[in-house]
Amino acid sequence: MQKKLFFSTQPLKGVYKYIIPAAKQHSEQNLKKKLQYTFIKVKKIQPDIIFFVVKCLLCGKFFKKETLMNLKYKSLNLGRYAISEVYRNPKCYFSKIKYYYELLKAIYLIASYAKYAINLKNINSVYLDHCMYKNGILIEVFSQKNIPIYALGYPRGFFLFKMDKKKQLKKYEEIIQLNKSKKINQLQKKKASKALREALLKTEKFPWMQHIAFKDNIKINLNEITHVVYIHSFTDAQLVYGYDGFLNVFEWFKFTLNELLKNKNNKILVKAHPSFFHEKFPNKMAMHDRMIFFKLIKDYNSSNVIILKDPIRNKQLLNKISKQTILISHHGSVVLESLFMGFKCITSAATFWNDQFHITNSWKNVSEYKKLLYKKWNVLKYPNKNDLMNVSYQLFCNPKGIYGKNYWEHILIKNLKISKSSLFQNSSKILQKIKISQNKKNKINKEIIFSLEKI
């Protein structure tokens, strides 16, 4: 008799020793049969994959970004996941040798993952982690096999996705993006407004904003500012919401400033993400982002550019600039706060809501973006208010989402009696030390299953 298998890309450690068993148990309940774990195991040396990488190299597929983005392995998107994997390493921004070395490694690894998954048998359901990186190609493999996929991903929480005849979703961003399928009523709009006001006033309630010493007394004259550019993480989840002509935030930021500076009347304020200034640096990524930021801004020693080198609350900044200032963000939730306060914004179409919503002035390629940067304030559009409230409600008021009471992290915090900040900063170390009874495990499993969102 053939084994019925539950496949996972992660071992049962850290938060995964709670998430993965819950996913497996939910799958068993749906299938009405017991499953056995199987974990990813990829051979290190595979001649056919080596041949594939060498062939791509000789054909010049690594040297133009459009060609690299469209690189496929057996009709599966490979290039975009390789790029995201490469730019987790900060050295790749400043060294071509390091970049190509990491790119070759990533392409080899991701092609190996795809081959492995294609050949798997008797898989009934899967758990995939961090699908914006190398595991993104596994989303495509298993969705084509119509196998249920469990995963975590912002702006969603813990979710289950399964292809059917009505769904033609193939890419990770198409699964996790907020969509317009649900209309919201007046009560829900009021809840969305309340959530936005809280986001502006109580920034520290978010775990990644704790331990940041905000400095709200801005002593810079901001009267002449024409544009505010918000910088996001350089190393975390590049291309998570798709491709818009830029391979990463670093490339986007440089292009933005270089284009805006061509107009000598522009006065640009650059605001870094507050996590760049986290006092305890919860992970290496935050340290890398800070290093890249301070290295990058050395190239913009201009009287037309003001760079905030301290963490400032967005509300304090917006209160000090003209409503006719153009705000530019690649994909951050800071946009929702700014739109709510009456500003016009430019963002990528590759963000955490899909293009059914009309919220910002958005671009899908470099040419469109360049045109937006040259537009005057009065030509740019305000958001559709219903769409703004819809996205804000889905993000901030979803009880199973990242800000909701039934979010999986909140379940662990409540049951294990640990703080939000400690779980955010060092979850693996903390969870490894905690020992709980089987009854407590069963309770946590049940609650995490209840937090599952079906997409």
How many beta carbons lie within 10 A of that of residue 10, not counting itself? 18
- In a domain, residue 225? The reply is yes
- In a domain, residue 452? The reply is no
Measure CA of the first residue to CA of the last residue in the chain; give whole Å: 33
Q: Examine the domain organization and report whether 79 and 203 are in the same domain.
A: no
| Average pLDDT value over all residues in the chain | 90
Backbone torsions φ then ψ of 209, nearest 5 degrees: -100, -5
Q: Examine the domain organization and report whether 226 and 369 are in the same domain.
A: yes
Domain that holds residue 261: 186-396
Residue 109 CB partners (closer than 8 Å, separation 6+): 42, 85, 134
Q: Examine the domain organization and report whether 251 and 120 are in the same domain.
A: no
Identify the helix (H) or strand (E) that includes residue 348: strand 344-348
- For the segment 238-243, the average pLDDT, to the nearest whole number, is 94
- For the segment 384-391, the average pLDDT, to the nearest whole number, is 96
How many beta carbons lie within 10 A of that of residue 207, not counting itself? 18
Q: Examine the domain organization and report whether 18 and 122 are in the same domain.
A: yes
Q: Examine the domain organization and report whether 12 and 135 are in the same domain.
A: yes
Query: Looking at the 3D structure of the chain, how many domains does it have?
Result: 2
In DSSP terms, 361 is beta-bridged to 346
Residues 287-321: pLDDT tens digits?
888 899 989 998 898 889 999 888 888 888 999 99
In DSSP terms, 348 is beta-bridged to 363
- For the segment 74-95, the average pLDDT, to the nearest whole number, is 95
Q: Examine the domain organization and report whether 136 and 285 are in the same domain.
A: no
Q: Examine the domain organization and report whether 212 and 152 are in the same domain.
A: no
- In a domain, residue 149? The reply is yes
pTM recorded for the entire structure: 0.92
- In a domain, residue 284? The reply is yes
CB 61 within 8 A of CB 78: no
Residue 382 CB partners (closer than 8 Å, separation 6+): 339, 344
Residue 214 pLDDT > 80: no
Q: Examine the domain organization and report whether 196 and 324 are in the same domain.
A: yes
pLDDT band at 420; cut points 50, 70, 90? confident
Q: What is the CATH number of the domain that holds 353?
A: 3.40.50.2000
Q: Which of 381, 396, 411 is the last residue of a domain?
A: 396
- What angle, 0 to 180 degrees and rounded to 10, lies between the N-to-C axes of helices 408-416 and 438-450? 150
Q: How far apart are CA 233 and CA 195, in angstroms?
A: 24
Q: Which of 156, 176, 196 is the last residue of a domain?
A: 176
Per-residue pLDDT, 210: 62
CB 171 within 8 A of CB 161: no
- For the segment 270-296, the average pLDDT, to the nearest whole number, is 80
48-62, 213-227, 305-319: segment of lowest average pLDDT: 213-227
- Burial of 399 per CB tally in 10 Å (0-12, 13-18, 19+): middle
- In a domain, residue 431? The reply is no
- What angle, 0 to 180 degrees and rounded to 10, lies between the N-to-C axes of helices 438-450 and 16-31? 70
- For the segment 203-219, the average pLDDT, to the nearest whole number, is 68
Q: Examine the domain organization and report whether 92 and 230 are in the same domain.
A: no
Q: Examine the domain organization and report whether 263 and 332 are in the same domain.
A: yes
Backbone torsions φ then ψ of 377, nearest 5 degrees: -55, -45
Q: Which of 176, 201, 225 is the last residue of a domain?
A: 176
202-216, 416-430, 437-451: segment of lowest average pLDDT: 202-216
In DSSP terms, 228 is beta-bridged to 269, 327
Q: Examine the domain organization and report whether 151 and 298 are in the same domain.
A: no
Residue 47 CB partners (closer than 8 Å, separation 6+): none
Long-range contacts of 321-325 (CB under 8 A, 24+ apart): 321/222, 321/225, 321/228, 321/269, 322/223, 322/225, 324/377, 325/225, 325/226, 325/227, 325/228, 325/377
